[in-house]
Amino acid sequence: MPPDSRTTPPARAMRADARRNYDRILAAAAEAIAEHGAEASLEEIARRAGVGSATLHRHFPSRQQLLEAVFRGKVEALCATAGDLAAGPDPGHALAAWLGAVARHIVSNRGLAAALMRGAHDGDFTLGATCHTMITSAGADLLARAREANAARRDVSITDLLKLVNAICLAVEREPDSATQADRLLTLALTGVHPAGERALTRPAGVIDP
Protein backbone atom coordinates (compact mmCIF):
# COMPACT_ATOMS: atom_id res chain seq x y z
CA MET A 1 0.00 0.00 0.00
CA PRO A 2 1.55 3.37 -0.97
CA PRO A 3 2.13 5.72 1.93
CA ASP A 4 -0.45 8.42 2.58
CA SER A 5 1.18 11.76 1.80
CA ARG A 6 -0.86 13.41 4.53
CA THR A 7 0.80 11.37 7.28
CA THR A 8 4.35 11.06 5.98
CA PRO A 9 7.00 13.66 5.20
CA PRO A 10 6.73 15.21 1.72
CA ALA A 11 8.61 13.47 -1.07
CA ARG A 12 10.88 16.52 -1.42
CA ALA A 13 13.66 16.75 1.13
CA MET A 14 12.80 18.55 4.35
CA ARG A 15 15.07 21.24 5.66
CA ALA A 16 17.30 19.83 8.36
CA ASP A 17 15.55 21.76 11.13
CA ALA A 18 12.11 20.70 9.87
CA ARG A 19 13.20 17.06 9.78
CA ARG A 20 14.53 17.30 13.33
CA ASN A 21 11.24 18.78 14.51
CA TYR A 22 9.28 16.06 12.69
CA ASP A 23 11.35 13.29 14.27
CA ARG A 24 11.18 14.88 17.73
CA ILE A 25 7.40 15.16 17.51
CA LEU A 26 7.05 11.50 16.53
CA ALA A 27 9.34 10.37 19.34
CA ALA A 28 7.52 12.54 21.89
CA ALA A 29 4.15 11.31 20.66
CA ALA A 30 5.18 7.66 20.94
CA GLU A 31 6.39 8.28 24.50
CA ALA A 32 3.25 10.16 25.54
CA ILE A 33 0.92 7.58 23.99
CA ALA A 34 2.72 4.75 25.79
CA GLU A 35 2.08 6.57 29.07
CA HIS A 36 -1.33 8.14 28.53
CA GLY A 37 -2.91 6.36 25.57
CA ALA A 38 -4.06 7.59 22.17
CA GLU A 39 -5.78 10.60 23.74
CA ALA A 40 -2.49 12.01 25.05
CA SER A 41 -2.47 15.80 25.11
CA LEU A 42 -1.15 17.39 21.92
CA GLU A 43 0.12 20.29 23.98
CA GLU A 44 2.09 17.86 26.15
CA ILE A 45 3.51 16.18 23.04
CA ALA A 46 4.62 19.55 21.67
CA ARG A 47 6.20 20.42 25.03
CA ARG A 48 8.12 17.13 25.16
CA ALA A 49 9.29 17.64 21.58
CA GLY A 50 10.48 21.15 22.39
CA VAL A 51 8.35 22.75 19.69
CA GLY A 52 5.36 25.07 19.65
CA SER A 53 1.81 23.90 18.98
CA ALA A 54 1.89 25.67 15.62
CA THR A 55 4.89 23.59 14.55
CA LEU A 56 3.19 20.38 15.63
CA HIS A 57 0.03 21.25 13.70
CA ARG A 58 2.04 22.27 10.64
CA HIS A 59 3.48 18.75 10.44
CA PHE A 60 0.31 16.99 11.65
CA PRO A 61 -2.88 19.02 11.12
CA SER A 62 -5.00 16.50 13.08
CA ARG A 63 -4.59 14.05 15.94
CA GLN A 64 -5.45 11.15 13.64
CA GLN A 65 -2.65 12.07 11.25
CA LEU A 66 -0.16 12.19 14.12
CA LEU A 67 -1.36 8.85 15.47
CA GLU A 68 -1.10 7.23 12.06
CA ALA A 69 2.44 8.53 11.59
CA VAL A 70 3.42 7.11 14.99
CA PHE A 71 1.89 3.69 14.36
CA ARG A 72 2.33 3.24 10.62
CA GLY A 73 5.90 2.00 10.88
CA LYS A 74 4.95 -0.45 13.61
CA VAL A 75 2.00 -1.74 11.60
CA GLU A 76 4.19 -2.15 8.52
CA ALA A 77 6.60 -4.23 10.62
CA LEU A 78 3.69 -6.33 11.85
CA CYS A 79 2.62 -6.96 8.25
CA ALA A 80 6.19 -7.90 7.35
CA THR A 81 6.11 -10.42 10.20
CA ALA A 82 3.03 -11.99 8.59
CA GLY A 83 5.00 -12.42 5.38
CA ASP A 84 7.89 -14.05 7.22
CA LEU A 85 5.58 -16.44 9.06
CA ALA A 86 3.81 -17.38 5.83
CA ALA A 87 7.06 -18.92 4.63
CA GLY A 88 7.03 -21.41 7.53
CA PRO A 89 5.95 -25.06 7.24
CA ASP A 90 2.97 -24.91 9.66
CA PRO A 91 0.19 -22.56 8.50
CA GLY A 92 -1.85 -23.03 11.70
CA HIS A 93 1.07 -22.11 13.89
CA ALA A 94 1.93 -19.18 11.61
CA LEU A 95 -1.58 -17.76 11.99
CA ALA A 96 -1.59 -18.21 15.77
CA ALA A 97 1.90 -16.74 16.14
CA TRP A 98 0.90 -13.70 14.12
CA LEU A 99 -2.26 -13.14 16.14
CA GLY A 100 -0.04 -13.24 19.23
CA ALA A 101 2.19 -10.61 17.65
CA VAL A 102 -0.88 -8.46 16.94
CA ALA A 103 -1.90 -8.77 20.59
CA ARG A 104 1.56 -7.74 21.83
CA HIS A 105 1.54 -4.83 19.43
CA ILE A 106 -1.82 -3.62 20.70
CA VAL A 107 -1.06 -3.88 24.42
CA SER A 108 2.27 -2.11 23.97
CA ASN A 109 0.52 0.86 22.31
CA ARG A 110 -2.22 2.01 24.63
CA GLY A 111 -5.36 3.08 22.84
CA LEU A 112 -4.56 1.25 19.63
CA ALA A 113 -6.94 -1.58 20.54
CA ALA A 114 -9.85 0.84 20.16
CA ALA A 115 -8.30 2.89 17.38
CA LEU A 116 -7.56 -0.07 15.09
CA MET A 117 -11.23 -0.73 14.48
CA ARG A 118 -12.22 2.94 14.56
CA GLY A 119 -12.53 4.41 11.11
CA ALA A 120 -13.20 1.06 9.44
CA HIS A 121 -16.69 2.31 8.65
CA ASP A 122 -15.78 5.81 7.46
CA GLY A 123 -14.27 6.90 4.19
CA ASP A 124 -11.31 8.91 5.45
CA PHE A 125 -7.74 7.67 5.77
CA THR A 126 -7.86 7.67 9.54
CA LEU A 127 -5.61 5.54 11.70
CA GLY A 128 -8.32 2.91 12.04
CA ALA A 129 -9.17 2.69 8.36
CA THR A 130 -5.60 2.57 7.08
CA CYS A 131 -4.11 0.28 9.69
CA HIS A 132 -7.19 -1.93 9.73
CA THR A 133 -6.87 -2.46 5.97
CA MET A 134 -3.15 -3.23 6.18
CA ILE A 135 -3.51 -5.69 9.05
CA THR A 136 -6.62 -7.35 7.65
CA SER A 137 -4.90 -7.97 4.32
CA ALA A 138 -1.82 -9.48 5.97
CA GLY A 139 -3.89 -11.67 8.27
CA ALA A 140 -6.25 -12.83 5.52
CA ASP A 141 -3.33 -14.40 3.64
CA LEU A 142 -2.29 -16.36 6.73
CA LEU A 143 -5.86 -17.46 7.41
CA ALA A 144 -6.27 -18.67 3.81
CA ARG A 145 -3.16 -20.83 4.15
CA ALA A 146 -4.38 -22.20 7.48
CA ARG A 147 -7.73 -23.13 5.93
CA GLU A 148 -6.00 -24.95 3.08
CA ALA A 149 -4.03 -26.94 5.66
CA ASN A 150 -7.27 -27.73 7.56
CA ALA A 151 -5.89 -25.78 10.53
CA ALA A 152 -8.68 -23.19 10.66
CA ARG A 153 -12.44 -23.40 10.48
CA ARG A 154 -14.04 -22.43 7.18
CA ASP A 155 -16.59 -20.17 8.86
CA VAL A 156 -13.99 -18.01 10.64
CA SER A 157 -12.98 -14.73 9.00
CA ILE A 158 -9.91 -12.62 9.67
CA THR A 159 -12.26 -9.90 10.93
CA ASP A 160 -13.58 -12.37 13.52
CA LEU A 161 -10.06 -13.15 14.70
CA LEU A 162 -8.96 -9.52 14.85
CA LYS A 163 -12.07 -8.61 16.83
CA LEU A 164 -11.25 -11.44 19.23
CA VAL A 165 -7.68 -10.21 19.69
CA ASN A 166 -8.92 -6.64 20.03
CA ALA A 167 -11.45 -7.60 22.70
CA ILE A 168 -8.86 -9.55 24.68
CA CYS A 169 -6.44 -6.63 24.60
CA LEU A 170 -9.11 -4.18 25.70
CA ALA A 171 -9.95 -6.48 28.61
CA VAL A 172 -6.37 -6.56 29.92
CA GLU A 173 -5.20 -3.12 28.76
CA ARG A 174 -4.80 -1.66 32.24
CA GLU A 175 -3.32 -4.72 33.93
CA PRO A 176 0.41 -4.50 34.77
CA ASP A 177 1.14 -7.81 33.01
CA SER A 178 -1.20 -7.13 30.11
CA ALA A 179 1.01 -8.79 27.48
CA THR A 180 1.19 -12.04 29.45
CA GLN A 181 -2.54 -11.99 30.17
CA ALA A 182 -3.37 -11.29 26.53
CA ASP A 183 -1.19 -14.20 25.39
CA ARG A 184 -2.82 -16.57 27.87
CA LEU A 185 -6.38 -15.55 26.96
CA LEU A 186 -5.62 -15.73 23.25
CA THR A 187 -4.27 -19.27 23.67
CA LEU A 188 -7.43 -20.22 25.56
CA ALA A 189 -9.58 -18.73 22.83
CA LEU A 190 -7.74 -20.52 20.04
CA THR A 191 -7.50 -23.94 21.72
CA GLY A 192 -10.79 -23.86 23.64
CA VAL A 193 -11.59 -24.72 27.24
CA HIS A 194 -12.76 -28.29 26.61
CA PRO A 195 -10.33 -30.88 28.04
CA ALA A 196 -9.69 -32.10 24.50
CA GLY A 197 -8.01 -28.77 23.94
CA GLU A 198 -5.18 -29.84 26.23
CA ARG A 199 -3.80 -31.90 23.38
CA ALA A 200 -3.64 -28.77 21.27
CA LEU A 201 -1.60 -27.02 23.93
CA THR A 202 1.19 -29.58 23.45
CA ARG A 203 1.38 -28.70 19.77
CA PRO A 204 2.54 -25.33 18.42
CA ALA A 205 0.63 -22.82 20.51
CA GLY A 206 -2.55 -21.49 19.01
CA VAL A 207 -3.24 -24.06 16.28
CA ILE A 208 -6.92 -23.70 15.40
CA ASP A 209 -8.76 -26.98 15.07
CA PRO A 210 -11.59 -27.31 12.57
Tell me: the pLDDT tens digits for 134-176? 889 999 999 999 999 999 999 999 999 999 998 998 888 888 8
pLDDT at 28: 93
pLDDT at 73: 75
Provide, rounded to the nearest whole percent, the portion of the chain with pLDDT above 90.
Answer: 46
Contact, 23 vs 60, CB < 8 A? no
d(CA 174, CA 176): 6
pLDDT at 71: 78
d(CA 49, CA 170): 29
C-alpha torsion sign, points 62, 31, 110, 134: positive
Per-residue pLDDT band for 191 (boundaries 50, 70, 90) equals confident
d(CA 79, CA 1): 11
The mean-pLDDT minimum among 12-16, 94-98, 194-198, 203-207 falls in: 203-207
Residues 6+ apart with CB under 8 A from 181: 172, 175
Average pLDDT, the chain: 80
| More confident: 126 or 22 | 22
pLDDT at 208 over 50: no
Contact, 102 vs 135, CB < 8 A? yes
Contact, 124 vs 68, CB < 8 A? no
Quick: pLDDT tens for 29-59. 988 887 887 788 999 999 999 999 999 999 9
What ranges in the chain are assigned the alpha helix state H? 16-36, 42-49, 53-59, 63-86, 91-107, 112-117, 127-148, 158-172, 178-191, 197-201
Best CA proximity match to 56, nearest among 68, 71, 66, 64: 66
d(CA 80, CA 106): 16
Per-residue pLDDT band for 77 (boundaries 50, 70, 90) equals confident
